[in-house]
Amino acid sequence: MREIIQEVLRKASINKASKIYEHGLSLAKTSKLLGITQWELSEYVGGKDNMQVNLNKTIDAKARAQMAMEFFR
């Protein structure tokens, strides 16, 4: 029973690490923070389908200006 609980906690830690990684913290820092290996985290993150792919999506100048105006309101 103890081994099962430890495995569940390890998987929960990897899941939490993937969420932190999605927010921009590096893989190395995230894995060190939660005490898991980079290999475990990279395997989990690489297997997820719901990662955001449009992080490098650019927007036109007009939309950027509109966002800036809304920011300073």
- Burial environment of residue 31 by CB neighbours within 10 A (0 to 12, 13 to 18, 19 or more): buried
Question: In this structure, what DSSP letter does residue 1 have?
Answer: -
Q: What is the pLDDT of residues 1-57, one digit of tens each?
A: 889 998 888 888 888 888 888 888 888 888 888 888 888 888 887 766 555 555 556
Task: Identify the domain containing residue 31 by its residue range.
Answer: 2-71
User: What is the tally of structural domains in the chain?
Assistant: 1
Taking the model in full, what pTM does it have?
0.52
The tokens for 48 are 């997820």
In the three-class reduction of DSSP (H, G, I as helix; E, B as strand; rest coil), residue 50 is classed as coil
